[in-house]
Amino acid sequence: MVAEATAKRVTRRRVRTRANLLDAAFAVFAAKGFGRVSIEEVCEAAGYSRGAFYSNFGSLDELFFALYRDRAELIADQVAGALALDGPGLDVPAAVDRVTDVLLLDRDWLLVKTDFLVHAARDPAVAQTLLDHRARLRGAIAERLTHARGHTRLPAVLGDIDGAAHAVIAAYDGVTTQLLLDKDAERARSWLRQLLTALLTDSGNTPA
pLDDT for 162? 80
pLDDT for 152? 53
Question: How high is the mean pLDDT of the chain?
Answer: 80
Residue 204 pLDDT level (bands cut at 50, 70, 90): very low
Question: What pLDDT, in 10s, does the model give residues 164-198?
Answer: 788 888 888 889 888 989 999 888 888 888 888 88
Question: Looking at beta carbons, which pairs linking 16-22 to residues 24 or more positions away fall under 8 Å?
Answer: 17/48, 17/52, 17/55, 17/56, 18/56, 18/66, 20/46, 20/47, 20/48, 21/46, 21/48, 21/52, 21/53, 21/56, 21/57, 21/63, 22/63, 22/66, 22/67, 22/70
pLDDT for 7? 44
Question: What pLDDT, in 10s, does the model give residues 105-154?
Answer: 788 888 888 888 888 899 998 899 889 888 887 887 787 777 655 445 56
Candidate from 23-27, 65-69, 74-78, 129-133 with smallest mean pLDDT: 74-78
Predicted TM-score of the model (pTM): 0.69
